[in-house]
Amino acid sequence: PLDTTIPDPALIVLIGAAGSGKSTWASTWPSTQVLELDQFRAMVSDDAGDQTATVSAAAVLHSVLEARLARKRTTVIDATNTEAHVRAGLLDVARSYGVPAVAFLVSTPADVCVQRQASRSPARAVPADVVRRQHAEAAAAAPHLHDEGFAHVLCADRTHRLELLLRRVSG
Ligand code: GTP
Ligand code: MG
């Protein structure tokens, strides 16, 4: 049976390659609950695509995350999160505040993720080899997410989109 459990509060970690649709999914949550790494890159560097800003952006994202989890506020991390060490850092924060972590896999086919880069501005388009590497990392991680420490592992699909939207509409 499909696990569709999202406790409240929860730390929801979106996992998927560039172009997989993470931000589209993130928009089903209230915007104040979503921490989007691109936005933090823009905040520290004026350029959402500036990869040299990632370390500073992630540090600021983490401090907002800690402030929110200290208040037991449900928080969604909108970043690729395909690397195990990135997820481990997020899981550490969730554990230290006693908030369950949910992995939310956005597993759109790699070819689709790559095609979607074509319609982006050159500054925001992620190179095809990077997208394919992210996709492979996400697929390889999927079976291990429970063991990493995620209390629930969800896969993005139509049923979830409907549930999430209905949950939001019904408050
Ligand atoms: P990055 O921020 O680069 O990591 O990408 P992302 O995972 O946030 O993807 P995003 O949500 O920006 O979606 C990429 C493109 O795919 C956008 O143009 C979306 O409109 C489109 N898209 C997202 N989800 C769907 C879907 O379910 N169907 C279709 N047809 N397009 C979608
Ligand atoms: Mg996005």
In whole angstroms, how far apart are CA 68 and each of 34, 95, 122, 156? Answer: 11, 13, 34, 24
pLDDT of residue 101: 98
Q: How far is the CA of 37 from the centre of ligand 2 (A)?
A: 8
Residue 162 scores a pLDDT above 80: no
Give dist(CA 93, CA 90) in Å, integer. Answer: 5
For the segment 2-56, what is each residue's pLDDT rounded down to a tens digit? Answer: 778 899 999 999 999 999 999 999 999 999 999 999 999 999 999 998 999 999 9
pLDDT of residue 98: 98
* Among 37, 42, 106, CA closest to 75: 37
Give the CA count within 13 Å in the CB-facing half-sphere of 127: 4
pLDDT of residue 123: 80
pLDDT of residue 27: 96
pLDDT of residue 57: 98
Residue owning the nearest CA to atom 25 of ligand 1: 21
Q: Ligand 1: does its nearest atom lie under 6 Å from the Cβ of 16?
A: yes
Residue owning the nearest CA to atom 13 of ligand 1: 21
pLDDT of residue 157: 79
Residue 164 scores a pLDDT above 90: no
Residue owning the nearest CA to atom 15 of ligand 1: 19
- When pLDDT is averaged across residues 97-111 and rounded to a whole number, the result is 97
* Among 72, 91, 70, CA closest to 152: 91
From the CA of 16, give the closest atom in ligand 1.
7
Quick one: DSSP state of residue 39? H
pLDDT of residue 87: 98
